[in-house]
Structure 1
């Protein structure tokens, strides 16, 4: 009861904070014409939704793999999705957005499968997943950079996908991000309790009537597909799905996924929206603004290194 009450209070506070941030993000200066207002509205809504999805996806992956060191970026899902999107840009000059989103899912899930296979072959521990993910991430990121040189002459905005930015926000992305939001939200109630059981081990999950393989696969697929869809629209935004679940568990002082999943989404939404506001303020002469993904990485990467060092000192591999 105490944890539930705390969850309600924290969620209420975060929702109020989110709405305040949304308001100031849209109406940050006056007067503003209708065109700018409309652009800001779409940009803010898409940033909030993308953050919610990535936070949820990170919590899903950490719970299903019993690994607090992972998110869609570290496992290579993001770079795999980006590579196939770039490949589609190169092969098909102009196609429907649904095509790019579809190939992003294929690339993201392929990269995830490679990471899991490599990690399990070298022990399956938390560090194994990190090492395998970083290797796969580096491979697909390098390939994406190579392809970007050929794509930029045709689509200059493709550069923003490498670093993650909402400068490309457009109403046409709304159906895609809504699909990703529905995916993570649909899995919330049926997966929260099974994930709690998975955290305690596969045998315990079996005793409670949950099939670990089925629930783990379903969770990974939801996280992989939803985060790949976000990448197809806004590019690589790393570490957000890593940081948000840790903050959620710290706030609630519990690993109960009935609370952690939702709080992770809320926290990631707020963090990404604030980051996007900062990116619009820090104007630079070349690109017009600092990409939000770059700012997230500046703060997220040290947090990731801190987690690794902490686990090593604690004797956890």
Structure 2
């Protein structure tokens, strides 16, 4: 909060219950008050959500980004910090079904401005922790991770390496390293690929840009090549991806084309499209998973150890 307040951002609350899918991935928790034993049906035999509490199909939010964009286009620079839900069956040490996200959105920021902010934000957070919580870090280093403080200094003392997804794929292929998941252009990079780039090749944090549009969300600005989008991921040692963001698409024509390609109904995001209808501005933003940040800062091995009540597949105790 202090960082964003000092940099002139407004703090915005975005809704937990939403009728939109910010990622277009469909991995959402549904919200309904309908009797599951007597579901109403329409003429096509589909569930009739007009009889539900909100009169339409609703879900728990996967991101506050789309609503955040509306606020940024009005107020210039905003951020949100709240719970986020993903119904992904990912039983790993890096995933939670319920987690907290820090999401800034900035009008008149291009992808370079976005990368600059992400790097400065992460370095500021880690520098603050090193300055104010050194006793705690020394305890965590002694008990859990003997390289913890060295790794934190590694982040703040290095300029993040910036390169395209295409260049990263070339480096991974030419390395000759045997990965569990084979590398080719067009795949979504796995944690092992990301960590190889950070820990073995560059030996510094990395920001990858210009990903294939097929593996990224519909709202990302398309590049002139028609194949890639102005996405960016920040990669850290041990963690892999810690931040995901992009420059947002401001062209209504290209946005409509993209939502048709990914199968999103324009009526579900009409309010989002309206922000481009009468002219828009270049704008960008990113999301930082709070628990992934805590995982990195504390040196813990499992993300379930940095949240009081972890929500994971087949686990929702308390």
Question: What TM-score does the superposition give when structure 2 sets the normalisation length?
Answer: 0.24
Query: For the pair shown, which has the larger CA radius of gyration, 1 or 2?
Result: 2
Which one has the bigger helix percentage? 1
Question: What TM-score does the superposition give when structure 1 sets the normalisation length?
Answer: 0.24
